[in-house]
Structure 1
């Protein structure tokens, strides 16, 4: 029955259009992510400048995320997403043309990175907030599972495709990405579903600061979401440091660049497998149990990176460790969206994403420093101890242990409300 229900969401015309647009756009992003640092290195010869360009997107989310959430709850979400895609298409096309004419400059790349980061932030928040309206509460976990699977599939095959596109010409990845944004906008335009409920049109708009406080206030009264968001942020610190840590361990084992790619492909394969079973797991097991199991498995498996004697086993550890995270992400996001009033979804989504993205940035920035100060293997054991502490804290949290079955909550998702006072929602079940 679960399998048929999961397949049923693909028969939803609007979701199929949304998913296909996301898949095409993700392929374009993957192609550009490989080409962009190579172009910056060719222009400047500086890895520092390449890091700045790549990091500006994350900084844009941190600086603009909360505002984006309030705007998404104000504006028409479908129209916002279409304009974001068209804007990103225009920005990327501009880079393509200037690169083809050999007139591309670093100021243009910096400006493009900032503006694209802002548009990406708006798009992602609007997309998540709109999804329950597109698919309905019964198919929400299945839709999130397919979205995760599509993204992870691109992670498995996208790097090879990106390398092939760059080999055809340095402008090709940017041209492909520009076209992918345009196709995504076209798929959104063809959708007929409403992207927000009636409460969006009825509520009185306050100032942005007030609306942001309303969203944060509502989250503050949700003990399960609040605690698991903090735990996720703490886990993201470890995850951010782990990327460079795994590369360092692989290098110490004599791994070539090809083998390092294989290791991260292993992680992508594990994440893809987890995403494929996430909808069934979400319907069968309570959120609290999924969170506890994920953290304990991560805590037990992460130290294996320090014990792996060769790149093949490093890839196996990466695949195994990545298996459970997509299940948790689908369960957590389903729970959050199911209990959040429609007109608050943009703000709550952006608040959660801003915190976890900020934590990821801290981990990424501190990873190199900690590897230099402690060494790679000692840092693995430190990260393992960090995960162990998170697993103990989550297991001991009564609200998390008693969190209901997320799949069952989809049948009783909250209707939209027309009030913006967070105290109104304080007694919503978690």
Structure 2
């Protein structure tokens, strides 16, 4: 009995490095939540154009389409910890230019576009290193619990951030951006204090650009021969189109219901509450149900819920729809991310992670970039119905796929 107790794994909450990783990530995500809602409101206030708001939101992530694969190979070469620290410092410096320019009355769309693109580059590098590091900080047996806890805490801050973003923006348009600058620096300091190595080994020596392309090819080849990860990544990318378009769509729907900025924030806070509930249930359900069943359930739940956005008569009923739609996805994400991290070799993890995120984030970027134009051309009701049909097609494709139906969690 004594031996069993002495060899029992240490709880996640007692792991020094995991607490630092969690704390830094949450502070940074709180800042991102404030800024992500404030940015389209700022663009609409400056230009009156939902199209420009959609383009700017898309630019923050469209970089994944042209840089994501190379970023994965680079973080497998570079020190992941140092890369993450410098990315946070860089993002803080770039974001600080927005309130500084506003103070001097020089803020304009060219600067916002430039900041979005450069922040996208740094976010791409940071994301690839961040996702790859977790299996080196916690043992593989704790991955579902760690992914679920990170998701739960992240969504708890998503609730707080969405609720506070509208209020902060109402107090001062620049307050969300100033807070985000501080959050990046806190995150960098937290990462600096972590003692654990973020990777087992790196690619031996940087070579010419052709060698980097070869390294990317090795990661893609590994991914191609893993049909479960490959198929689910394609489905997630297609779902990302709807997610990207849906973000600005929900903002405009709320404004059409005469919601003020605080009430718009409350709509997204409700979505955060639903996601928080799903994240808390995620580790247990991910162990109990097959990965494929969770994927199919998520897509059908989204397809059946999404049309209610078009008929909600008040902003608070819109909040209920956002809550209901957001519960299932985090459960699936816990199962999928734990599976992918567990089966991917550490030396390839940056490349595989970035390849998957290039698809999913790129899909979201396309949807976000097109959303403003689609709203202007079709109107909010028609776009909501079109996205509902798209989700139904994805759910049907997942249901008919043998690869998805047979997908199980990693041992």
Which bracket does the TM-score occupy, shorter chain normalised? 0.7 to 0.9
Aligned residue number for residue 145 of structure 1: 148
The answer to whether 1:404 aligns with 2:408 is yes
Structure 2 residue 389 is matched with structure 1 residue 389: no
2:115 corresponds in structure 1 to 112
Find out whether 1:269 has 2:300 as its counterpart. Answer: no
Instruction: Note if 1:161 corresponds to 2:186.
Output: no
Measure, in 2, the Cα distance between the counterparts of 1:108 and 1:306.
35
Check if 1:293 corresponds to 2:297: yes
C-alpha distance 246-107 of structure 1, shift in aligned 2 (>3 A): closer
Unaligned runs of 5+ in 1: 410-430
Is the CA contact (8 Å cut-off) linking 1:6 and 1:142 kept in structure 2?
Answer: no
Please name the residue that 1:129 is paired with: 132
Aligned with residue 327 of structure 2, among 323, 330, 346: 323
CA contact (8 A) 2:87 2:126 kept: yes
Q: Which of 218, 224, 227 is matched with 1:220 structurally? A: 224
Aligned position for 1:193:
196
Q: How does 1:415-430 map to 2 (within 5 A)?
A: none
Aligned to 1:32: 35
Please name the residue that 1:413 is paired with: none
1:65 paired with 2:68, answer yes
Offset, 1:211: 1.2
Separation in 2, partners of 1:177, 1:127: 18
Contact 1:100/1:171, CA 8 A, preserved across alignment: no
Partners of 2:382 and 2:57 in 1: how far apart? 28
Deviates more, 1:335-344 or 1:81-90: 81-90
Number of positions where the alignment pairs a residue of Structure 1 with one of Structure 2: 402
Whether the 8 Å contact between 2:62 and 2:361 is mirrored in structure 1 is no
1:348 aligns with 2:352: yes
| Alpha-carbon distance, 1:161 to partner | 2.8
Q: CA deviation at 1:285?
A: 1.6
Aligned-partner Cα distance in 1 for 2:365–2:330: 20
**Which of residues 173, 177, 191 is equivalent to 1:174?**
177
> Residues of 2 paired with 1:265 and 1:146: CA distance?
19
| Cα distance in structure 2, aligned partners of 1:308 and 1:178 | 36
Q: In structure 2, do the counterparts of structure 1 residues 242 and 6 end up closer, same or farther at CA, with 3 Å as the change threshold?
A: farther
Mapped to 1, the partners of 2:256 and 2:176 lie a distance apart of 32
Contact 1:81–1:126 (CA<8 Å) still a contact in 2? yes
Query: Does the CA contact (< 8 Å) of 1:6 and 1:279 recur in 2?
Result: no
The corresponding residue for 1:183 is 186
- For structure 2, list consecutive stretches of 5 or more residues without a partner in the other structure: 1-7
Change (3 A) 1:276 1:66: same
Contact 2:237 2:363 in 1 (8 A): yes
Instruction: Give the Å deviation of 1:67.
Output: 1.0
Residue of 84, 88, 91 corresponding to 2:87: 84
- Which residue does the alignment assign to 1:280? 284
The answer to whether the 8 Å contact 2:77/2:206 transfers is: no
**Aligned partners of 1:237 and 1:400: how far apart in 2?**
20
Question: 1:191 aligns to what SS in structure 2?
Answer: coil
Indicate how the Cα distance of structure 1 residues 87 and 296 shifts in structure 2: closer, same or farther if over 3 A, else same.
same
In structure 2, the partner of 1:338 is 342
Q: Is 2:268–2:319's contact at 8 Å kept on the other side of the alignment?
A: yes
